[in-house]
Amino acid sequence: MHNNWIAGEWAGSHNTQNNLNPSELSDIVGEYVRASESDVDAAITAAESAWPSWSLSTPQQRFDALDMIGTEILARKNELGELLAREEGKTLPEAIGEAARAGQIFKFFAGEALRIRGDIQASTRPGIQVEVTREPVGIVGIITPWNFPIAIPAWKIAPALAYGNCVVFKPADLVPGSAWALSEIISRSGLPAGVFNLVMGRGSVVGAALITDPRVPAISFTGSVETGRHILRQTAPLQKKTQLEMGGKNPLVILNDADMETALNCAVQGAFYSTGQRCTASSRIIVERGIYDRFTQALAERAQALRVGHALEPNTQIGPVCDETQLRQNLDYIDIGKNEGARLLCGGERLQQPANGCYFSPAVFADATNDMRISREEIFGPVASVIRADNYEHALSLANDTEFGLSSGICTQSLKYATHFKRASHSGLVMVNVATAGVDYHVPFGGRKGSSFGPREQGSYAKEFFTIVKTAYTLA
């Protein structure tokens, strides 16, 4: 049994659930408790008790804990990656890469704990000194999705702790395994009891209790637009600091002058890897008329050649869909796309494999238009809509015509268009000749419009959310 970590102890609960392997549904990854509202209350109470002294902890104390966590994650990245691949369905190399990323993030924020700076400014009044300093916010509620079960928790928990906050962490109900393993490492890092708490369980119970409790002044959430908007409606009247990272419908523009091999690699990587289950996936591929037919045909050939299979098999390129519900959603969108008049060139089918898992073939829709539902709504699967553009200006306007604004990309050899696109694209991340998915951990991450709300995550920009600025005036 895997319990919650509350007030420096492993705590059981009445409800439990089995964590299933989407590559082979008969494989139970483990049994995990589901917290009740009173468990969340206990975790918040523990964080509240730990907060006064932890908020005054030294940067060295925080560095030591975060560095130790990062070192252990990196040393165990293969084992943690295997667990992640088993519970979420990413291929083993992708999962090991994600585990390593979590370790690097803890190492980065260990260093950030030593780099908390302020400003001294001259006052407009004689004899007065003005100091601007950063202080921790307090107890941060962290709510994460299922598609990056160790990296996203890491990029919220590490900065929260580095800047002196206490944490109550609620991972996605579907994939508690990686979150529990991460929490187990954190539990041995020397943090005082109550500084970090794990409460696994349902969003409607654990998440709801966390976002409405007035003792939690900050919520950092990653997940769907629907849940994010619901959270904001709950937290705004309580004036909680709220950070939301949500969905995407990310465009990849391919111009006539693009290097074909680069463009195909960006499209295949961006649209299909990690089974398309990435907020930064290239789900709209906007191709200039001159190369549309050639590119679309080549993309379909590449998609068909991808090896879909068990996440732990060495030859697998595309793992299973995370669960049956998401698989049904993918299949529904295939029907929607066909009914809307898009031409399905390949894939879009449930696949039978020797293992009893959630397998789905990567799909390419040609002749898609930007007003179709398959081009406007986040499918969150390996499904690409390929849209025709008359020229660069048309492609840019199609790219920006979306309620989302997380990532965008362009493949071109033209410095003029690449430079213009970087400026004119309405998204938080812009890629030139690089896939829309795949980012560094030491620079800001986040989107615009419907994709994000609040300050950026990651890199030193994370301090904007996890600290509060104080301005002090002294007459010497």
Q: Which residues bind ligand NAD (CB under 6 A)?
A: 143-148, 170, 172-173, 203-204, 207-208, 211, 222-224, 227, 230-231, 245-248, 279, 378, 380, 406, 451
Structure tokens at 408: 């965008």
- Cβ proximity to ligand NAD: between 208 and 432 the closer is 208
- Cβ proximity to ligand NAD: between 57 and 458 the closer is 458
Report the distance separating Cα 267 and Cα 176, nearest Å.
31
Say which residues have a Cβ less than 8 Å from residue 276's Cβ, sequence separation at least 6: 283, 362, 379, 380, 381, 382, 383
Q: How far is the CB of 462 from ligand NAD (least distance, A)?
A: 13
Report the distance separating Cα 86 and Cα 82, nearest Å.
6
Q: How far is the CB of 248 from ligand NAD (least distance, A)?
A: 6
Catalytic residue among 245, 288, 378, 457: 245
Q: How far is the CB of 201 from ligand NAD (least distance, A)?
A: 8
Task: Walk across the sheet containing 452-453 and list its strands.
Answer: 9-11, 4-6, 196-198, 166-170, 139-143, 218-222, 241-245, 452-453
Catalytic residue among 279, 322, 346, 411: 279
- Cβ proximity to ligand NAD: between 55 and 329 the closer is 329
Q: How far is the CB of 27 from ligand NAD (least distance, A)?
A: 21
Q: How far is the CB of 249 from ligand NAD (least distance, A)?
A: 9
Structure tokens at 444: 């800001």
Report the distance separating Cα 60 and Cα 68, nearest Å.
12
Say which residues have a Cβ less than 8 Å from residue 75's Cβ, sequence separation at least 6: none
- Cβ proximity to ligand NAD: between 102 and 346 the closer is 102
DSSP H helices in 207-259: 208-212, 225-235
Q: Decide if 245 is catalytic.
A: yes
Task: Walk across the sheet containing 128-136 and list its strands.
Answer: 119-122, 128-136, 467-475
User: How many CB atoms within 10 Å of residue 328?
Assistant: 13
Rounded alpha-carbon distances, angstroms, from residue 326 to 230, 323, 329: 21, 6, 5
Report the distance separating Cα 395 and Cα 157, nearest Å.
39
Q: How far is the CB of 79 from ligand NAD (least distance, A)?
A: 23
- Cβ proximity to ligand NAD: between 346 and 406 the closer is 406
E-assigned strand segments in 291-350: 343-346
Q: How far is the CB of 278 from ligand NAD (least distance, A)?
A: 7
Q: How far is the CB of 205 from ligand NAD (least distance, A)?
A: 9
Structure tokens at 81: 């990656």
Report the distance separating Cα 159 and Cα 456, nearest Å.
12
Q: How many residues are present in the chain? A: 476
Q: What is the DSSP string of 262-305?
A: HHHHHHHHHHHGGGG--TT-EEEEEEEGGGHHHHHHHHHHHHHH
Q: Decide if 322 is catalytic.
A: no
Rounded alpha-carbon distances, angstroms, from residue 233 to 4, 227, 229: 28, 10, 6
Residue numbers annotated as active site: 245, 279
